[in-house]
Each structure stands twice: as C-alpha cells, then as structure tokens.
Chain A
C-alpha cells in the first residue's frame, strides 16, 4: 500500500500559486519524499525530492514539516500546462520500487 495520502482533486487559477498537500505519517527517518506529475499520455515526470530540508528547483518548491509527517509541493505561478495528476511518493526502506497512490488531479483554470 502507498505510504502517502493526497486529496483526489484541486483547482487553481492561472498565475496563482498551487499548493498540493501530502500526508505521510508513517515515514521513517531515512525515507525521501518524491513528487512526480503525469500529463495525459505521457510518463510520470520527476519534479523534486527531499529528506527533511525544504528544497527548491526551477519547477517547484518542496516544504516538509519538521516532524516529516506531511509535505507541500508549491508551483509558484501555475500555468495551464501544469494541469496534470501529481503523485507524492515515499519509497519504503529496503525496497527499490515506488508505490504510487491515486495522486491529486490538479486543474489550472484560465
């Protein structure tokens, strides 16, 4: 079973920040949080990952709470092309594989 829970869907106005939450209350100390997104008919696209510190790259920011039980992916200025399913993944320790949940379907509205 996936170690994360996400809201099934969210809407965001174009140009505004999109804040996508993820709960991972059973995360272990050495497990990373990964975010991917999947646009229709494409494979999952890597966005960002982190352990405990906040991370930022050219696509997004990742904010992880101090207790590491939840995180938020922030798209600072959402565009229509950011409409996609967003997956938050915690890979279980001692395994190689990702276990995907159902993700959050983000719709960016014009």
Chain B
C-alpha cells in the first residue's frame, strides 16, 4: 500500500521567503509527526497531531514555524521569513493509533530545504 508521501522532495528558497511543505500520511492513520533532520544528525521532533488536534508543538524552534492538519489527514508545515539555519530535511511520519500507542511511526522520504 501507499506510504507517507511528502512534497516537494527538494525546495530551494531565498532567505526571507515563506515556504510550505506538504505531508500525505498513510490513509486512516490518526497520528502525524513532523521532524527536522540536520546534516549528519538524527531527526529531531517538531510537532505532533492526533487527527486535527495539535497536541504537542514543543519542538518548533521559533514562532516562524507553523503546522496544521485541518481535516485530520493532509498536513502542512509552514516556515515564514526563512533563515539559513532552517536548511535541513523535514520528515513527516504517521502511525495508526493516537495517544501513547506503541504502534510504530512510518516515515516519508522528507523534503530537503535549502535556504540561500
């Protein structure tokens, strides 16, 4: 079956521009996560949705980062006034159940964002 799909796969933007990254989770998955992965590092948590509710946004690095999942399926991560330190791979993951279920997260291949 279809896995987690992210678009675009690559995004280049000039410093100060706004960007929007899309995630299509596995159909029927309740939980959706965003992670940021810097070069040579492991992914770092940004935010978590259970259906349309954003239950944890503790990892968002600044108020320039905003995520939404209005209908409980597709999610968008928006970064305003991008800065060079925002350059990274942004990963989306989904899992079948919500709350603290032990079901594993399934990751997309990410969007590689480069800020010039």
Contact = CB atoms under 8 A, between A and B. Distances in A.
A97 B50 CA distance: 12
Interface stretch (A18-26, A41-49, A62-70, A75-83): A41-49
Contacts of B109: 41-43
Contact of B107 (A44, A94, A102): A44
Contacts of B102: 32, 49, 51
Contacts of B35: 98
A98 B110 contact: no
Nearest to A49: B104
Please give me the 4 A-B residue pairs with the lowest Cβ-Cβ distance, nearest first.
A100-B42, A43-B107, A97-B45, A96-B48
A43 B108 contact: yes
A99 B81 CA distance: 27
Interface residues of B, number: 24
Nearest to B9: A41
Interface of B: 4, 31, 33, 35, 41-45, 48, 55-56, 59, 91, 93, 100, 102, 104-110
A97 B42 contact: no
A41 B108 CA distance: 11
A87 B105 CA distance: 13
Contacts of B108: 43
Interface string A73-110: 00000000000000100000111111111110000000
Contacts of A2: 42
